[in-house]
């Protein structure tokens, strides 16, 4: 179903930690300035340039000057070593390739989150100017990987991410009957669709992707907790749930961890105490909390931070959730459903600045 192919990558001639960065949408203005100060060739000068036109000119200048070089056609095995928010060390492995972007209705690529127009407008201007995919998106598939990480030294090794270029034999055939799920990068994928509708060339449909198997041992979804401010109804809810009161957050989290996933359940916390809130069968934890709307909501992956904000009076209530299971995300996506914001938290983010995908012959 999915058209995944080898591609001719562009990369830095001298890759280093000084030129890479997190994805554009998680970088604050202060972080952007700090990254740009590390090296005049840091990738934020492309992904978060003063103007999209500046980024396009700079990309081509760096190619002309040899700052960026073209690789032979292929795919890339990738592995990321990381320590998750839970303190556990893992290695996540995947494959970097080019994906022919198709509308969701075709069924080859599935979304699981809603997008907003604003971010896509800026990314579309950047695609027009750079005529290159400057950052990969993160995509999942079912099945064992079609390629293995080689035993030899990597071609690139930066900030815990290692890459090996491979010929890519058999990759196209492997993914031809696979359905893909966007884990992270919905806005960029939909931007590629819009760009291809304008440009209409074979290259304009290509999306730079990192494909990870749902069975990869290093793939983990972490929970994103909800914190509400200015919501007296949340304080009242704590009083109403007196039958489900628990002595401590630690005890409540133990109960939550043992609860079956066939029904939604979350831990609620206010200055009036700890309680369990249970929902309907077949409902996800994020859907249970989403019933309360998004007024005054904030998100954090840090349980201690969520509790502290309530204790310090910065928030009225915190809801502590379990991680959403990968199989539940895929199931909802295959039914054509989109889920609440921050349903999934895939960690770590993919590094930007390792590989680029030009959209010109």
| pLDDT tens track, the chain, 361 positions | 799 999 999 999 999 999 999 999 999 999 999 999 999 999 999 999 999 999 999 999 999 999 999 999 999 999 999 999 889 999 999 999 999 999 999 999 999 888 888 889 999 999 999 999 999 999 999 999 999 899 999 999 999 999 999 999 999 999 999 999 999 999 999 999 999 999 999 999 999 999 999 999 999 999 999 999 999 888 787 767 666 889 999 999 999 999 999 999 999 999 989 999 999 999 999 999 999 999 999 999 999 999 999 999 999 999 999 999 999 999 999 998 888 888 989 999 999 999 999 998 7
Residues 215 and 256 in one domain: no
Residue 179 placed within a domain:
yes
C-alpha to C-alpha distance for 15 and 327, rounded to whole angstroms: 36
Residues 77 and 94 in one domain: yes
- Could you tell me the CA-to-CA distances from 330 to 37, 290, 295, 307 in Å, in that order? 40, 19, 28, 31
Q: Print the domain residue range for 139.
A: 4-220+346-358
Residue 333 placed within a domain:
no
Residues 155 and 171 in one domain: yes
| Cβ neighbours of 304 (radius 10 Å) | 9
Three-state SS sequence of 220-278: CEECCEEEECCCHHHHHHHHHCHHHEECCHHHHHHHHHHCCCCEEEEEEEECCEEEEEE
Number of independent structural domains in the chain? 2
Residues 53 and 126 in one domain: yes
Residues 174 and 317 in one domain: no
Residues 211 and 236 in one domain: no
């Amino acid at each position: 179903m999915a058209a995944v192919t080898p591609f001719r990558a562009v990369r830095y001639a001298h890759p280093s930690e000084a030129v890479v960065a997190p994805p554009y949408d998680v970088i604050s203005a202060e972080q952007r300035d700090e990254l740009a100060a590390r090296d005049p060739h840091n990738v934020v000068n492309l992904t978060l340039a003063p103007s999209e036109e500046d980024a396009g000119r700079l990309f081509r200048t760096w190619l002309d000057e040899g700052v960026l070089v073209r690789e032979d056609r292929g795919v890339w095995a990738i592995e990321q070593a990381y320590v998750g928010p839970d303190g556990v060390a893992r290695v996540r492995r995947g494959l970097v390739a080019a994906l022919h972007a198709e509308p969701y209705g075709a069924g080859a690529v599935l979304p699981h989150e809603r997008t907003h127009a604003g971010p896509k407008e800026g990314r579309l201007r950047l695609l027009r100017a750079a005529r290159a995919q400057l950052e990969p998106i993160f995509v999942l598939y079912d099945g064992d990987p079609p390629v293995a990480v080689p035993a030899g030294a990597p071609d690139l090794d930066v900030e815990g991410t290692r890459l090996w270029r491979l010929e890519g034999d058999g990759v196209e055939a492997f993914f031809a009957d696979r359905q893909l799920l966007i884990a992270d990068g919905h806005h960029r994928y939909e931007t590629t669709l819009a760009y291809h509708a304008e440009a209409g060339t074979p290259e304009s449909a290509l999306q730079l992707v990192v494909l990870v198997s749902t069975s990869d041992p290093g793939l983990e979804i972490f929970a994103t907790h909800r914190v509400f401010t200015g919501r007296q109804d949340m304080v009242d809810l704590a009083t109403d749930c007196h039958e489900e009161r628990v002595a401590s957050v630690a005890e409540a989290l133990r109960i939550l961890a043992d609860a079956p996933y066939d029904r939604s359940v979350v831990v609620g916390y206010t200055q009036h105490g700890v309680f369990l809130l249970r929902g309907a069968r077949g409902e996800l934890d994020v859907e249970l909390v989403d019933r309360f709307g998004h007024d005054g909501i904030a998100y954090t992956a840090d349980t201690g931070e969520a509790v502290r904000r309530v204790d310090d009076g910065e928030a009225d209530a915190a809801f502590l959730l379990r991680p959403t299971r990968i199989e539940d995300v895929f199931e909802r996506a295959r039914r054509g459903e989109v889920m609440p914001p921050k349903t999934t938290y895939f960690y770590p983010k993919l590094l930007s600045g390792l590989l680029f995908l030009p959209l010109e012959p």
